[in-house]
Structure formats: C-alpha cells, structure tokens
Copies of this chain bind each other. A is one copy, B any other.
Amino acid sequence: MSDDTAYVVFTPSGRRGRFEVGTPILECARRLGVDLDSVCGGRGMCGRCKVIVAEGEFPKHQINSGPVSVSRLSAAEEKYDSIRGLNGLRLSCNTKLLADVVIDVPAESQVHKQVVRKRAESRAITLDPVVRPYYVEVDKPDIHHPSGDYQRLAKALKRDWDVTLDDTDLYVLRQLQNVLRAGDWKVTAAVRRSLGKYDEIVGLWPGLKSRLLGAAIDVGTTTVSMQLVDMSAGEVLAVAGAMNPQIRFGEDLISRVSYVMNKPESVVEMAAVVSDCINGLIAETCAVAGAEPTDVIELVLVGNPIMHHLVLGVSPSELGLAPFALATNQEVKVYAEDDLNLNTCIGARAYFLPCIAGHVGADAAAVVLSEGPHLSDEITLLVDVGTNAEIILGNRDRLFAASSPTGPAFEGAEISCGQRAAPGAIERLRIDRETLEARYKVIGCELWSDEGGFEEAVASTGVTGICGSGIIEALGEMFLAGILQKDGVIDGALANRFPVVRPEGETSSYLIRGGERPIRVIQADVRAIQLAKAALYAGARLLMDQMGIDKVDRISLAGAFGSHIDTKYAMLLGMIPDCPLDKVSSAGNAAGTGARIALLNRKARDEIEELTQRIEKIETAVEPLFQEHFMKAIAIPNDSERFPNLERIVNLPRPAESETVQVTRSKVSRRKQRKIRLSDG
C-alpha cells in the first residue's frame, strides 16, 4: 500500500477498490459500478449522490487512517446544507477520498431503488425509467469554429454522460436556442436511453432540473384515472379520476362502437374528448404536486381494446364484429403532444401496453404485469370485471386469456334498482334468517341501516339504489336465507308469511327498503346476474379446460368491482370456481398499478411485450364448450362443480326435489346470444 492511495468499500453493494487519494467518492462509485445516482454530473447541485461516511464500520485490520478519511465539507456542500439540508450525509461528488473508508449508499441515492408498494404480497417495482435527467454545461458558439447548438449539446451529453444522440426531433431544435441561452449554456436534458439504438432528447430546461414526472393512465369505459409519479423516486405524487367524456357518444362500449360505425369520422372527436379529459387530470395532479404539465416526460396508458383504439384515434369498428381484429396487438409508442394532443413535455412519449386480443385489452396486460401470474408455479385465475370480464389463467408455464360477455349487470346496470358505486348506493347487505328482513350499509356512511343515527347519516345522499357488490351480497343472502331457489326463482310462496317478499304478476320480488323510493330485487334482476355470473364462470372454466385443470390455486379479482366484492358471496353465487377463500383476493387497481410498473421500469415493458405474444388467446364466442359451461352455470352456485371450500364456511341450502332449473334453454340462449352479440358489437 503506497501512501497516495486509499481503499473504499461501498455498502450495501459490497463493491470495493483502491483509488488515488483525492478521488471524489462519486468517481470511485462509478468506476466500481456502484448504483449511485447523479443528475448534475458531480457539480454539487442536485443532491442525488448523497452518501453516509461510515468509517466506524470498517474492519479494524484494514484501517490505516486517522479519523479523517474524507475531505471536509466543501463550499458547495455547505451551500446545499444551508438550503436543502444534508442531515449529516455528504455529497459524494464533493467528498474526496483521503484514507480507507466505508461509504453507505442509502436507498434514495440509488438509481435502481425499489419502490415501496402498499400490498405486502405484490411484486416489487425496481426503478429503471426509460427517461432520465442529465445536467450539462454546453460549449458556447465560436465564430471561428462554427457548429450547431444541437451538435454542441450532443457533444456535452456524450462527454459527461455517454449519451449518444442521432437525428433530433424538430421540437428540440425549435426550443434549443432559447433554452441554451436562458440557462447561460447550462441545461438539463431529459434523455430517453435505448439499448442498441440512439438516445433521444425528450425535454430541455435551463439550469438544473432534477424532478421529472410520469403519468400512468387507465382509460376505462366509464372512468379515466391517472397517477402522477416522480420518475426518480418512483413515488405517486397525486391521483385523480374523471368520468370518461365519451359517455356522451354512448354509455357502454357497444353503443360507442355503433356510433363510430354510423359516423366513422367521429373517431377523431372521441379521441379528442378523452385527450381533453386526460389533460384535465394532468393539470389537476400537477397542481397537487406543485409541478408543471411540461414536467411530465413519459406516459403509460392502458384500457380495453375499444378504449385503446379510441384513445389512439383508430377506429374500433372491427372490434365490434367477428373476427374482432385489432389494428395492432403489439405495444404502441406515440408522441403525447403531436399524436394525442396531450399537454405534457413536448417530446413526451405515450406508451400503450399491448392488447392481448380483440376482447382482452391493454388493461388486462397491465393486470398481468401487476399480479405476475407468469412468475409463479401456482395457477392463478385473474379476473378483471367490467362490462366484459377479462380472464387470465395460468402460471409460469402457460398463460391463457379470454373475455366473457358478462354484460354490465355487475356494474349495477340492467338491475331495476341498480346504480353505479357512488354515495347512497347499498354495498353491503345481510338478511335476518328469521324475519327475512335486510340490513345494509350504503357507500359514504359507516353505519349499518339498523344502527342508531343511520337515517340522519344518509339524509344528504339518501339511499338511492344498489351497486354491483351490493346486488351480489343481496342475492347471496337471499339464497342463504331460502328466498332464492337454486334455479334463481324468488320463492313466491314466502309472500304469505313475509311482507318483504311480494308477488309481482307471475313472479315475485324481495323488498330491501321501503318508503317513497323502495329498493327491491325483482326476478329480472336475478336473471341478469345469473346470466352475467354464468358467462364469467364459463369463461374461467373454458380456460381451465384448455389448461387441463379443474382447480386453481389462487384467484385475484381486479378492478373496482373486485375491490368491493365480498369474495365469499362471489363464490356462493358461482361467479368463480372453488378455491380456498384465503387464496381469493382483490388485486385493487391492478391495471393502474401495471401501468405504473411499465412507467417506472423499462424491462417490465419488454416483459409484457414478450408475454402478450406468448399468452394463448381463447375466443369464447366460437368455443362450443363455452355454451355448455354457460348453461350449467346458470343455477346457484352452479351445476357443474361442488364447492368444498365454500361449504366449509357456509351452509348451502339443500335443494328441494322440485327445485330443478326452470329457465328453459331456448329462453336463456336468446338472452345470452343477444348479450354476446351486443358485447361483441
């Protein structure tokens, strides 16, 4: 060991090496390949390279230093400390190696840090965004050696960051001169780095700009929701949602497709209104985060195939008719501003996850990315319930996907007292086994209806209807209480003894709440749910057939409906196959989470792009087995399987001799076929 070198060990990586005394710690880290962030390139400005000098932990026998193993606080560090606070840490770019030392790189100083997620069971997100900020000081123009502003910027980015630019997009040229001069030739470039391709400038700011934002956007048929994300920290800064303004062209997917079929040029307008909506969400979330929309340098979008096409301004007409051909089944990368008219950083790109098939969209791909069924040996059934249920089944070996035409009953549509999940809607319900009377909870109120103060608490909203999860519980409880027979008939014979059961012509109804605007379940409501749940179950079952299994290890219910539903009732109605109830969970906003993963980690994009090609697509509309499963699944829970896991926790009513399924095949068939046709186009 000569006197003019010293030994440095980085934790937690364990990388170590000997360097000349006086070498900045950041430089040591780079040469050793230690994951240590920096935006300003070692100029003591950005604070991203903060480290902890931890001499005490250094193994005794390797120490040959006094207490001073690194240089004193520099002027830049003192300035940084006074403004933003160093809290005892050091800026590694301004800290020089003097003697042997251990340097700890805290998580927040790592480029590829892990992002914290709420759910414990969810897969970790490793930060590795496609776009990163790079601060450079650009040579000024020289009349004796003429060169373009762009070429001098490119030279600085190459020199300091090994960024390799090729041609530039016009938006860079248009703003370049002003930004370079406004920043006195010191600028931050947001650069999209591509392996094996040229790098590209996405945005440019005068001076140092260390926080860049991303947007993960889920365009649902009904709701558009967005997460605004700090691309360096991975943290969600704000979330916002809005009604999808395309609703004025049609409440559901089918009516929107019909609208386009009748008026092809409306595609442009339908794309435009969603763009406006997204612009509103960008403005709203940026205001919360104290940022500008122009700070948004990357977007990821997901949605069902029809939304996917409509946002892109591509006609969804083909998705309304067999053979349901997508315009593309691969990822789509476009310019957020030029192509989608979004107000973002002018060079921001919008990345659409690939659609899996004509009925299984980019939202389903995002659910896969979030839930990771392909990473496990366990066989997972993923269900994203919307107007159509998108169903994924499989494990690391094989994955299957299908869409089931459930119709909108699970969203409260086609139900007489049904409504969207909104304040005033009944979402929980229990039936007294003696009186057959219901008690319930409504969204927006913590009290049950039989608790004191309930009426006062709901006075502002009223009790306005029953939402999707509420109707599932209502039917489950009606079944358990014997009001609903296995064939789905409301037992009119009970009307004699129980005032809540009332004859309604040839059928009967069940009253949940009386008053001026009574809330009840009529026979047609039960039929609508029976058809929807049979379609969902049949879809899942079809995929299980394809995979050659009749049990799944895990069921994950994605989406808003999946978040609110009591999985016990879902199984009780036979919506999903039997499975240990502790293995049935809500995946929450899995589509949104998948979008966020694709936003923060570029390898996740490769992963889902490869995966969607590999997923085996099953078209329920042309599978004869689907019809068969569907017929058998009309009954409650259904006629095709036993539910041992369910029976362990609830006493299923024993069917009487007379209670055979009354719904005739032809009748169901017509209904069902209309639905399939409708939901297909």
Contact = CB atoms under 8 A, between A and B. Distances in A.
Interface stretch (A323-331, A538-546, A671-679): A323-331
Nearest to A333: B167
A146 B326 CA distance: 8
A661 interface: no
A327 to B, nearest CB: 5
Nearest to A325: B141
A361 interface: no
Interface residues of A, number: 48
Contacts of A143: 322-324, 619, 621-622
A317 interface: yes
A304 to B, nearest CB: 15
A328 B149 contact: yes
A71 interface: no
Interface stretch (A13-21, A171-179, A283-291, A364-372): A171-179
A167 B147 CA distance: 33
Interface stretch (A115-123, A236-244, A308-316): A308-316
A16 to B, nearest CB: 40
Contacts of A169: 334
A168 interface: yes
Contacts of A313: 170, 174
Given A177-B318, A323-B141, A357-B146, A151 B329 contact: yes
A150 interface: yes
- Chain B CB within 10 A, most for which of A142, A151, A312, A327: A327
A617 interface: yes
A373 interface: no
Contacts of A245: none
A144 interface: yes
Interface in A132-151: 141-151
The oligomer's copy count stands at: 2
Contact of A325 (B149, B328, B358): B149
A333 B150 CA distance: 14
Query: In the complex, which of the residues A312, A325, A326 has the most CB atoms of chain B within 10 Å of its own CB atom?
Result: A325
A200 B145 CA distance: 36
A150 B327 contact: yes
Given A146-B325, A328-B168, A330-B151, A173 B619 contact: no
Interface of A is mostly: loop
Nearest to A180: B325
Interface string A62-102: 00000000000000000000000000000000000000000
B168 A329 contact: no
A592 to B, nearest CB: 24
A326 B622 contact: no
A274 to B, nearest CB: 15
A604 B617 CA distance: 48
Contacts of A619: 143-144, 146
Given A332-B167, A338-B338, A327 B173 contact: yes
A446 interface: no
A160 interface: no
Contact of A176 (B176, B178, B327): B327
Contacts of A622: 143-144
A184 interface: no
Contacts of A323: 141-143, 146
Contacts of A355: 148
Given A143-B322, A143-B621, A619-B143, A330 B148 contact: yes
26 contacts: A141-B318, A141-B323, A141-B325, A142-B323, A143-B619, A145-B617, A146-B324, A146-B619, A148-B325, A148-B326, A148-B328, A148-B329, A149-B325, A151-B330, A167-B331, A167-B332, A169-B334, A170-B312, A170-B313, A170-B332, A170-B334, A173-B327, A174-B314, A176-B314, A177-B314, A177-B327
Interface of A: 141-151, 167-170, 173-174, 176-178, 312-315, 317-318, 322-334, 338-339, 355, 357-358, 617, 619, 621-622
Q: Nearest 10 CB-CB pairs, A to B?
A: A141-B325, A143-B323, A148-B329, A148-B328, A150-B328, A148-B326, A146-B357, A141-B323, A170-B339, A170-B334
Given A148-B330, A177-B325, 8 more contacts: A146-B329, A147-B329, A149-B318, A149-B325, A151-B328, A170-B339, A173-B312, A177-B317
